[in-house]
Each structure stands twice: as C-alpha cells, then as structure tokens.
C-alpha cells in the first residue's frame, strides 16, 4: 500500500481554500448529481432488471462512500484514498462503481484528496477521467485540473482550464472566481496583457463578487508593468 501523509501544506495562501472549495462543492451538490444521473438512466430506457441492478449498485456505492467520507472530514487522506479494514477507499469505490453517480462522486473526491496531499500528478490523472453531468461539479473538476497545473508551474495550461471552468459553471460567484484565478495564472506566466483583460472582465461582469475583489487587487499590482 502506498503511503500518503495525513496532510501536506500547499504553500501558497490561495491553494488550501481552493481545495476546500472543491470539496465543499462536491459535497453540496452530491444529492443533485445523483438525482440527475439516475433520472438520465431511467429516461434512457433499458430492461427493468438492468435498472434494478443499477439501483442496487448505486445504493452499495453510496453506502461505501458514506463510510469513507468521515476520513476526508478529519484530513485522514491515507484512509480516504486507500481505505482501511472493511472501509473501502475512494480509489476502489471509484473503480468498482464507476458507472454509478456515487462512483463518479468518489472519483471527484479522490482527485481532491490527492490534490490536498500534494500528489498533483495523481490528482491530474484522476481529474482528467472525470465525467459528470452537473455543470458546477464538472466545472469544479476543470478547476481542480487547473490547480494541479498551477502547482506544476504550467501556468498557461492552468489559465486555460480555469477559463473552461468559468465557462462551464452556472454559479456566478464560481464563474467570477475561476476567471480571476485564470487571470492570476496568466500573471504568474508573465502574460500581463491577458491577465489584465481577464481581471477587467471579472470586475465589469461580476461586480461585488469575491472574484472581482481579487481581480481589482491583482490589477493594481500589475498596472505599473503594462
């Protein structure tokens, strides 16, 4: 079994809140995504037996997920990822129940767990396999991908994925925040014109938001270098 430290400082001040935001979004929208995906399955047809099988698989996946999420809550990522005793880890739940809504949720939480302990390559690999219908959850996955690239100092890729996350998200506060992070990524890449354009857009399109406040602060920082 691979060993993962119980917690790893993410270095920059913004990074912990990004991970916490991702986990919050995942937990907040869990019911909605399960309902949406189950509805899609039902509308898609198929035999009654197949539907009963899918329902049973989802119930089992949801049960396994409920057993491991307390480990996430206390930052015990070793158990959260790999499991312990009769508690299946997120890695196994995501693989074993990949076709179920809870299995997809496990995939998102697994990527977030890897990110939280600084395993950015592992997190990136999992984020890229994510396929979720709910737009805000899908956006969270793109933002997670962007955060991984940022931690790998691949700022142009980070900016692209943050912009994609902003476009995908339905929540306006998230759209603004992701776009502000995209601007920050361009700023770190020293592409100040692109950064300035994004900061200006956030301030104009999302006044009063946290993203607008971050953008205004960053715009002041780079104004003398444009």
Is residue 119 predicted with pLDDT exceeding 90? yes
pLDDT of 35 strictly over 50 = no
- Report which of 192, 183, 186, 169 is spatially closest to residue 211, judged by C-alpha positions: 183
| pLDDT one-digit tens code per residue, 53-63 | 567 888 888 88
Extents of the domains making up the chain: 12-119
Is the pLDDT reported for residue 105 higher than 50?
yes
What pLDDT does 52 receive? 54
**62-98 pLDDT, tens per residue?**
889 889 988 988 899 999 999 999 899 999 999 999 8
| DSSP result, 139-189 | HHHHHHHHHHHHHTT-HHHHHHHHHHHHHH---HHHHHHHHHHHHHHHHHT
Separation CA 164–CA 1 (nearest Å): 35
Residue-averaged pLDDT of the chain:
81
Q: Which two tokens stand for residue 126?
A: 């999992």
pLDDT value of residue 58: 86
Task: Look at residue 111 and tell me whether its pLDDT is greater than 50.
Answer: yes
Q: How confident is the model at residue 6, as a pLDDT?
A: 42
pLDDT for 56 equals 81
At 22, is the pLDDT very low, low, confident or very high (cuts 50, 70, 90)? low
CA distances from 73 to 2, 15, 60, 140 (A): 21, 18, 21, 19
């Amino acid at each position: 079994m691979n060993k993962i430290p119980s917690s790893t400082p993410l270095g920059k001040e913004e990074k912990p809140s990004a991970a916490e935001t991702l986990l919050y979004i995942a937990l907040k929208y869990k019911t909605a995504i399960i309902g949406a995906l189950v509805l899609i399955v039902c509308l898609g047809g198929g035999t009654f037996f197949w539907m009963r099988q899918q329902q049973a698989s989802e119930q089992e996946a949801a049960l396994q997920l409920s057993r491991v999420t307390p480990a996430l809550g206390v930052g015990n990522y070793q158990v959260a990822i790999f499991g312990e005793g009769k508690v299946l880890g997120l890695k196994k739940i995501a693989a074993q129940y990949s076709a179920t809504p809870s299995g997809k949720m496990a995939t998102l939480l697994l990527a977030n767990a890897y990110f939280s302990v600084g395993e950015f390559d592992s997190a990136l690999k999992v984020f890229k396999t994510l396929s979720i219908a709910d737009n805000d959850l899908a956006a969270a996955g793109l933002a997670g991908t962007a955060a991984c690239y940022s931690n790998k100092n691949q700022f142009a890729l980070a900016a692209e994925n943050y912009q994609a996350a902003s476009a995908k998200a339905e929540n306006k506060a998230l759209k603004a925040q992701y776009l502000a992070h995209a601007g920050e990524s361009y700023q770190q890449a020293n592409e100040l014109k692109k950064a300035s354009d994004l900061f200006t857009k956030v301030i104009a399109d999302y006044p009063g938001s946290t993203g607008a406040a971050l953008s205004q602060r960053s715009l002041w920082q780079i104004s003398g270098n444009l």
